[in-house]
């Protein structure tokens, strides 16, 4: 993959202004457009030990890692070693879930497109040894189930970690080695790693979290546990991620012309498999990819976050376009990345991405929507003050006590408005999650039973 790397004064100016607006220590941006790479990097890796951010600075990319896990899994499909429609137990016979029917019937494809019915994740630490992923899978009987397999989409980290165990059992090798050998190496990704021992010898970004007084502090945890590597464990650079984007825009051949993944499977990853309702994540899930139609063009992408670092990775196949944005402070890394992606889409492609506009406040909806909603690690309260609705998400006390300094501060309550239509869809109107969309779900009797936020279902508890 030959490349020409250039700079763009307008892009650099926008990224500098965005970093200042959101008080971001560092931002790295890479764009592939018109057959050339464009980079803009500003700021520093850490406020304590500041080193300039470059296109070769390693950031923790969180759930963007799932695209690598999915590609490695599809390689096994291409080799005839995995069948997407087969039960997961065909490859992980030790799988045990709360519901035996779910454990026996959930398929590999349902893990890939988040329709397995799994809760988001288990908050546990099974160690950094080669048995960490196996131990995590052994604990899945503790994971709440939201629905029967195939019944609905709900984003799940645990599901992708289980895919990592599928890869381990089929190959007989540690998950990380399989991805390194079958994806990183043939695609030519020399700056992407799972283990902190590989990362710490390179220029890398530290995450930052905002204290209650508004100042930033360095996050002392760089990434999650080894069992979370399939769902979110990679450290990578803008340079490598642009190469990754170009691979997925291509025909499946790697750095030296060999086939890494057949072109038909590469394209199949971007085909819709399940639609999502009013979700900021996507209009639909492919095989891992989050698919959105924006101003008449189809985008495929995946974001990622964790411990004060944020990634946004998008490709636009019909325009041969890719963009990567990496930032290193929470909670405003999300809006900073989104603003940059939107500017680039409009500046380079003429594609405009805007938030929907809510309807005026309706006091008659307050009683129905107000209540407490729950997920594994968080509780969310819906209420109204004056003529404004709010969602207040708080980490559960027991999770915060167990996590200590690893757990970032809670966000202020999110103001939101109801969108036109059936009245159950909403958009957050201010704060770090501005523009995030979701919906209230109903049970068979028509009563509000849950609320979706960021692709995850919070069940109503009161």
Instruction: State the pLDDT at residue 431.
Output: 86
Instruction: State the pLDDT at residue 2.
Output: 44
pLDDT in tens, the chain (462 residues): 445 555 689 999 999 999 999 999 999 999 999 999 999 999 999 999 999 999 999 999 999 999 999 999 999 999 999 999 999 999 999 999 999 999 999 999 999 999 999 999 998 999 999 999 999 999 999 999 999 999 999 999 999 999 999 999 999 999 999 999 999 999 999 999 999 999 999 999 999 999 888 899 999 999 999 999 999 999 999 999 999 999 999 999 999 999 999 999 999 999 999 999 999 889 999 999 999 999 999 999 999 999 999 999 999 999 999 999 999 999 899 999 999 999 999 999 999 999 999 999 999 999 999 999 998 889 999 999 999 999 999 999 888 877 655 577 788 899 999 999 999 999 999 988 899 999 999 999 999 999 998 778 899 999
Take residue 31 and report the two structure tokens written for it: 């764009």
Take residue 187 and report the two structure tokens written for it: 């695609």
Instruction: State the pLDDT at residue 23.
Output: 96
Instruction: State the pLDDT at residue 237.
Output: 98
Taking only the tens place, the pLDDT of each residue in 236-291 is 999 999 999 999 999 999 999 999 999 999 999 999 999 999 998 899 999 999 99
Taking only the tens place, the pLDDT of each residue in 33-81 is 999 999 999 999 999 999 999 999 999 999 999 999 999 999 999 999 9
- Its pTM stands at 0.91
Instruction: State the pLDDT at residue 4.
Output: 52
Q: How far is Cα 267 from Cα 265, in angstroms, rounded to an integer?
A: 5
SS (H, E, C) the chain: CCCCEECCHHHHHHHHHHHHHCCCCEEEEEEEECCEEEEEEEEECCCCCCCECCCCCEEECHHHHHHHHHHHHHHHHHCCCCCCCCEHHHCCCCCCCCCHHHHHHCEHHHHHCCCCCECCCCCCCCCCCCCHHHHHHHCHHHCCECCCCCCCCCCCHHHHHHHHHHHHHHHCCCHHHHHHHHHHHHHCCCCCECCHHHHCCCCECCCEEECCCCCEEECCCCCCCHHHHHHHCCEECHHHHHHHHHHHHCCCECCCCCECCCHHHHHHCCCCCEECCCCCCCCEECCCCEEEEECCEEEEEEEEEECCEEEEEEEEHHHCEEEEEEECCECCHHHHHHHHHHHHHHHHHCCCCCCCCCCCCCHHHHHHHCEEEECCCEEEEEEEECCEEEEEEEECHHHHHHHHHHCCCCCCCEEEEECCCCCCEEEECCCCCCCCEEEEEECCCCCEEEEEECCEEEEECC
For 51-84, b/e burial (b = at least 16 CB within 10 A) is eebebbbbbbbbbbbbbbbbbbbbbbbbeeebeb
* Vertex 6 angle, CA 5 and 8, to 5°: 145
Q: How far is Cα 90 from Cα 70, in angstroms, rounded to an integer?
A: 18
């Amino acid at each position: 993959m030959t490349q020409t790397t250039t700079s763009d004064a307008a892009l650099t100016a926008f990224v500098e202004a965005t970093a200042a607006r959101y008080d971001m220590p560092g931002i790295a941006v890479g764009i592939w457009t018109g057959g050339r790479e464009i980079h803009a990097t500003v700021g520093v890796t850490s406020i304590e030990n500041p080193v300039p951010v470059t296109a070769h600075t390693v950031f923790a990319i969180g759930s963007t890692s799932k695209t690598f896990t999915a590609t490695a899994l599809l390689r096994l499909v291409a080799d005839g070693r995995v069948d997407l429609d087969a039960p997961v137990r065909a490859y992980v016979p030790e799988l045990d879930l709360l519901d035996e029917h779910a454990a026996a019937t959930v398929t590999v494809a349902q893990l890939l497109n988040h329709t397995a019915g799994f809760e988001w994740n288990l908050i546990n630490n099974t160690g950094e040894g080669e048995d960490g992923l196996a131990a995590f899978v052994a604990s899945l009987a503790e994971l709440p189930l939201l629905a029967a397999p195939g019944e609905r989409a709900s984003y799940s980290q645990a599901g992708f970690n289980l895919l990592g165990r599928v890869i381990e059992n089929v190959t007989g090798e540690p998950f990380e080695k399989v991805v390194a050998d079958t994806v990183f190496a043939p695609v030519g990704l020399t700056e992407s790693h799972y283990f902190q021992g590989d990362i710490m010898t390179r220029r890398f970004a530290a995450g930052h979290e905002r204290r209650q007084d508004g100042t930033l502090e360095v996050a002392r945890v760089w990434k999650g546990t080894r069992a979370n590597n399939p769902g979110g464990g990679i450290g990578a650079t803008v340079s490598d991620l642009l190469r990754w984007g170009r691979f997925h825009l291509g025909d499946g051949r790697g750095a030296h012309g060999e086939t890494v993944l057949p072109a038909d499977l590469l394209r199949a990853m971007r085909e819709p498999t399940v639609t999502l309702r009013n979700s900021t994540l996507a209009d639909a899930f492919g095989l891992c990819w989050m698919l959105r139609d924006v101003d008449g063009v189809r985008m495929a992408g995946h974001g990622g976050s964790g411990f004060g670092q944020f990634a946004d990775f998008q490709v636009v196949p019909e325009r041969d376009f890719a963009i990567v944005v990496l930032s290193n402070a929470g909670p405003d890394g999300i809006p900073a990345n989104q603003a940059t992606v939107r500017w680039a889409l409009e500046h380079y492609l003429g594609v405009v991405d805007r938030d929907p506009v809510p309807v005026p406040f309706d006091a008659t909806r307050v009683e129905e929507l107000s209540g407490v909603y729950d997920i594994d690690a968080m509780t969310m309260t819906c209420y109204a003050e004056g003529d404004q609705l709010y969602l207040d998400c708080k980490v559960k006390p027991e999770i915060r006590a167990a996590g200590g300094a690893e757990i970032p501060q809670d966000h202020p309550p999110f103001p939101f408005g109801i969108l036109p239509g059936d009245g159950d869809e909403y958009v957050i109107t201010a704060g770090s999650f501005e523009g995030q969309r979701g919906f209230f779900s109903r049970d068979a009797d028509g009563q509000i039973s849950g609320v979706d936020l960021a692709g995850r279902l919070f069940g109503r508890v009161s």
